[in-house]
Chains A and B, each alone.
Chain A
Amino acid sequence: MSDTLLDIKDLSIEYHTEFEKVYAVNGLSLKLNYGETLGLVGETGAGKTTTALGIIRLLPDGIGIVTKGSIQLDGTDMVHESEEKVRKLRGKTVSMIFQDPMTSLNPIKTVGDQIQEVLRAHDRSMSKAELSRQVDEMMEMVGIPSYRKTEYPHEFSGGMKQRIVIAMALVCEPKLILADEPTTALDVTIQAQMLGLIRNLQKKLNTAMILITHDLGVVANTCEKVAVMYAGEIVENGFAEQIFCQEKLHPYTRGLFNAIPKLDVETSRLEAIEGMVPDPTQRIEGCRFANRCRFATPACSQEPPYVEVENGHFIKCHLFSGENRSGKTIPETVSGSLTREKSVVSEKEVS
């Protein structure tokens, strides 16, 4: 058996509504090994959640459509396999933790029943006593006393609800967890607890995880690998150390880092990335980030290559292609050498 758990090749997902087509994911490729943790980073609308829903095949029926590419999950083709087969994988091989614990639990079922439902869905022969024992065990594991299993979601706080959601996602010991901003709806102290909890359980059960977030701090804490998404594609992909040492970075990733407030430097304004995310209803030729990029050149109207700048560290940018491959010519300070006017000019050229 190979090490690869998840292999996404050239995946494109579109949303077809009555009025328009939205190109949510465009030619995304991604690999994940068993037991690995990947942080999927990007701003709102980058297609992170769509990618996750595509993996577990829960895109809105008839609206979200995989138009291209393949998803191999633990040897199963998640794009073309029958609904019945995919259903059996959900919860058992791949499970998902959703963003908002307040709304992701059924308000009129006891939490114990909701956890138990996952077990029963995948093993109909399990006895009542065994089901009950496993639910108890799982609840204790996420730090909720098991006697509370007969209570309803409204009797729990937000953090407790998220623990229940985590218990539901992990109770069948899946090979892959898709955690879609699991801490965004929680306050900061609970966030740390939740991440700690998820990481501990993940280690214990040897589960791989894709952690979707827009918080680089969370990624630094939790993930071995990082993939940065922008406008439906992965622009940078590598090990966490490679990206967080900030030597060679895609201009967009650099922008994300610069937008983090620094305590040791006095600034009056936070540094934001100029401009807006391109309209997802339009197809764009060449680099999607070019119109916001300070380093943009005429070459950027061509599709940028995927360049391996170091072992396992890929950047999708013209800056790193050809003679620039080593990345030496674009140190961090390069931003100072390029004037604002030049970037405006290149913006026009691109558009």
Chain B
Amino acid sequence: MRKFILKRLGQGIIVFMLICFFSYIIMFLIPGDPVYALYGANISPEQYQMYYKQLHLDQPLLLRFFNWFINFLRGDFGWSSRYRCSVNELIATRLPITMYIGILSLILTAFFGILFGVIASVKRGKWQDSVITVLANIGSTMPLFWIGVLGVYVFAIKLGWLPASGYTSPFIDLGLNLKQILLPVIAMAFCQVANITRLTRSNMLEVINDDFVRTARAKGITEHEVIFGHVIPNAISPVINMIGMLFRVVVAGSVAIEKIFNIPGMGQLMIVSITSKDVNPLQACIVVISTVVLIVNLLVDIIYALIDPRIRLQ
């Protein structure tokens, strides 16, 4: 098991370095001059030369990358010209917000997705199954931004139960915070619950007909023990894998959701950085988000191996 984790960790580090490298050089592939982007087009040629040197643009690309990478590892993400503050500060305030909403919606997704999937498969062919299957099919066809807008329209504008947008720190006003994040969290979870439900149901049905489930029943254990002790553990691996992958979807979804609900998270920061050609925060966003996804995938692999002993051999 330790060997397995070390191997996956090593692979993760290699991927991390590749991500850093590409997110760095990609900035120099997009059109536009970084000096003009940073300091405006109205500077004199002397000033241009000065800033050019200041940004180390006269050095070779690999050397610049190396210096940037070293700073990066030290935790120095550079300076944001758009926000006029250090990128560290930006990330420190925004990453927790995105993670907070993302993880909440992911927990909601996993819980209800697995719950509904298990109910539908155990009650196969009964009315519970039909209701869940129909809802899941509807849910999986609705796009995230549409549910977000619909939620705002119904619950904020028509009914007035919840605020339409904005974000307050939970440490300042927990009640208001919960009201504000309720819609974005549910909107993000809604379509994913449908996918998890369908995957759980089909995996459960596959396992429920396996010979070893019949063996388990022949032992005289309760139906409850059969489902929780034998069927679910064997059916859950692909679901956990999918939840890991959903983490990426959640991060991508945050771009749309934060725009709709006006939440100052990583998604907003990325959009603003791109439109204002603010290179440093954009690079930092890409690397930080990729790293988080990388860590989540590593955790999924480890959970996978903990559940299924056959994985550990590979």
Binding site for B on A (CB under 8 A): 56, 58, 62, 87-92, 95-96, 98, 100, 103-109, 117-118, 121-122, 152, 154, 165, 168-169
CB closest chain-B residue, reference A87: B220
Interface size class of B (residues with CB under 8 A): 20 to 34
Q: When the two chains form their complex, are residues B234 and A58 in contact, meaning their CB atoms are under 8 A apart?
A: no
Residue of B214, B220, B221 contacting most chain A CB atoms (<10 Å): B220
Please indicate which of the listed interface residues B212, B218, B222 has the most CB atoms of chain A within 10 Å of its own CB.
Answer: B218
A106 contacts B212, C-beta separation under 8 Å: yes
B220 and A104 within 8 A (CB): no
- B310 near A107: Cβ-Cβ < 8 Å: yes
B89 on interface, CB distance cutoff 8 Å: no
Decide if A168 touches B215 in the complex (CB within 8 Å).
yes
A108 adjacent to B308 (CB under 8 Å): yes
Query: Once the chains are docked, how many angstroms separate the CA of A76 from the CA of B218?
Result: 17
Cβ–Cβ < 8 Å partners of A100 in chain B: 211
Residues in B with CB closer than 8 Å to A154 are 309-310
Is there an interface contact between B220 and A58, defined as CB atoms closer than 8 Å? Answer: no
Measured between beta carbons, the chain A residues less than 8 angstroms from B218 are 56, 58, 90-91, 95-96, 98, 169
The residue of chain B having its C-beta at the shortest distance from the C-beta of A56 within the complex is B218
Interface residues of B in 207-236 (CB under 8 A from A): 210-212, 214-223, 225, 229-230, 233-234
Question: Known: A92-B220, A118-B220, A154-B309. Contact between A107 and B215, CB under 8 A?
Answer: no
User: A121, B212: Cβ atoms under 8 Å?
Assistant: no
Complex Cα spacing A103 to B125, Å: 26
| Most chain A Cβ neighbours within 10 Å, of B219, B229, B309 | B219
B307 to A, closest residue via Cβ: A108
Assess A106 versus B234: contact at CB under 8 Å? Given A165-B215, A168-B215. yes
Let me know if A152 and B219 touch, CB within 8 A: no
Contacts A98-B215, A107-B309, A169-B218 known; list 13 others, CB within 8 Å: A58-B218, A90-B218, A91-B218, A95-B219, A100-B211, A104-B211, A106-B230, A107-B234, A107-B310, A108-B310, A109-B233, A121-B222, A121-B225
Closest 5 CB pairs of A and B: A91-B220, A90-B220, A103-B211, A121-B221, A91-B219
Instruction: Point out the residues of chain B lying under 8 angstroms from A96, CB to CB.
Output: 218
Interface centre among B212, B225, B308 (most CB of A within 10 A): B212
* A58 contacts across to B, CB distance below 8 A: 214, 217-218
Task: Name the prevailing secondary structure of the B interface residues.
Answer: helix
A117 to B219, CA, bound (A): 8
Taking CB atoms, residues of chain B closer than 8 Å to A168 are: 215, 219
In the assembled complex, the CB of A278 is this many whole angstroms from the nearest CB of chain B, namely: 28
Q: B98-116: contact bitstring with A at CB < 8 Å (1 yes, 0 no)? A: 0000000000000000000
CB neighbours (8 Å) of B211 from chain A are 98, 100, 103-104
Give 18 CB contacts A-B under 8 Å: A87-B221, A91-B220, A92-B220, A95-B218, A98-B214, A105-B212, A106-B230, A107-B309, A108-B310, A109-B230, A117-B216, A117-B225, A121-B220, A121-B222, A121-B225, A152-B309, A152-B310, A165-B215
User: Do A89 and B220 form a contact, CB below 8 Å, given A103-B210, A107-B308, A108-B308?
Assistant: yes
| Interchain nearest-CB distance for B156 vs A (Å) | 46
Q: Do B212 and A107 touch (CB < 8 A)?
A: yes
Nearest residue in A to B125 (C-beta to C-beta)?
A62
Closest chain A residue, CB of each to CB of B222: A87
Taking CB atoms, residues of chain B closer than 8 Å to A103 are 210-212
A169 and B217 CA atoms in complex are apart in Å by 12
Chain A residues with CB under 8 Å of B221's CB are: 87, 91, 117-118, 121
Tell me the smallest distance from the CB of B150 to a CB of chain A, in Å: 39
Set of chain A residues within 8 Å of B215, measured between Cβ atoms: 98, 104-106, 165, 168
Residues of B within 8 A of A91 (CB): 218-221
B229-267 interface code vs A (CB 8 A; 1 in, 0 out):
110011000000000000000000000000000000000
Q: Name the B residues within 8 Å of A106 (CB-CB).
A: 212, 215-216, 230, 234
Bound-state CA distance A92–B218 (Å) is 10
Question: Which chain B positions have C-beta within 8 A of A109?
Answer: 229-230, 233
User: Which residues on the B side are within 8 Å of A169 (C-beta)?
Assistant: 218
Q: Which residue of chain A lies nearest to B213 when distances are taken between CB atoms in the complex?
A: A106
List of A residues within 8 angstroms of B309 by Cβ: 107-108, 152, 154
Give Cα A90 to B217, complex, Å: 8
State A108–B309 Cα separation when bound (angstroms).
6
Minimum distance in angstroms from A164 CB to a CB of chain B: 10
Interface string of B276-314 (1 = CB under 8 A from A): 000000000000000000000000000000011110000
- B210 closest partner in A (C-beta): A103
* Residues 179 to 215 of chain B near chain A (Cβ within 8 Å): 210-212, 214-215
CB nearest neighbor in B for A62: B125
Q: A90 contacts B219, CB within 8 Å? A: yes
Of all chain B residues, which has the CB nearest A86?
Answer: B220
Partner of A108, one of B125, B216, B233: B233
CA–CA, A100 and B220, complex, Å: 20
Closest A-chain residue to B234, C-beta based? Answer: A108
Instruction: Select from chain B the residue with minimum beta-carbon distance to A89.
Output: B220
Chain A residues with CB under 8 Å of B216's CB are 106, 117
Instruction: Give the CA-CA distance A152 to B308 in the complex, in Å.
Output: 10
Give the chain A neighbours of B220 by CB distance below 8 A: 87-92, 118, 121-122
B310: chain A residues within 8 A (beta carbon): 107-108, 152, 154
Determine how close the nearest CB of chain A comes to the CB of B122; give it in whole angstroms: 11
Complex: A87 Cα to B214 Cα, angstroms: 13
CB-CB under 8 A from B125, the residues of chain A are 62
In Å, the complex CA distance between A195 and B227 comes to 32
A5 to B210 CA separation, bound complex (whole angstroms): 30
| Residues from chain B with Cβ under 8 Å of A92 in the complex | 220
Closest residue of chain A to B218, judged by CB? A96
Alpha-carbon gap, A169 to B221, bound state (A): 13
B270 to chain A, nearest CB (A): 40
> In the complex the two chains form, what is the Cα distance from A158 to B220 in whole Å?
24
**CA–CA, A89 and B217, complex, Å:** 11
Min C-beta distance of A95 to chain B, whole Å? 6
Chain A residues, Cβ within 8 Å of B214: 58, 98, 104
- Which partner residue on chain B sits nearest A110 by CB separation? B309
